[in-house]
């Protein structure tokens, strides 16, 4: 059996976030910590909006957009 504090932790998560500990366990796949832009494009289908981070060139944009499209999940995708 779990104690009430343990159940609360499972349901609600930790009330504090230690950024130093988070940095220690963060794994960057294909990027490094100092990478200026590690975000992928984001779409807001309800507003017909595509948010594109500022990439250095079109080749990087194409690569990131392809990754985002290839790994997308959500309604309307089959």
Active-site residue set: 46
Cα–Cα distance list, 28 to 3, 20, 36 (Å): 35, 16, 13
Q: Concatenated DSSP letters for 25-48?
A: H---SS--TT-S--PPPEEEGGGT
């Amino acid at each position: 059996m779990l104690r009430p504090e343990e159940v609360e932790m499972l349901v609600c998560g930790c009330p504090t976030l230690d950024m130093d500990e988070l940095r220690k366990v963060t794994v960057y796949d294909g990027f490094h910590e100092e990478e200026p832009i590690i975000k992928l494009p984001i779409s807001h289908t309800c507003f017909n909006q595509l948010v594109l981070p500022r990439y250095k060139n079109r080749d990087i944009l194409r690569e990131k957009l392809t990754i985002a499209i290839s790994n997308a999940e959500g309604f309307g995708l089959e």
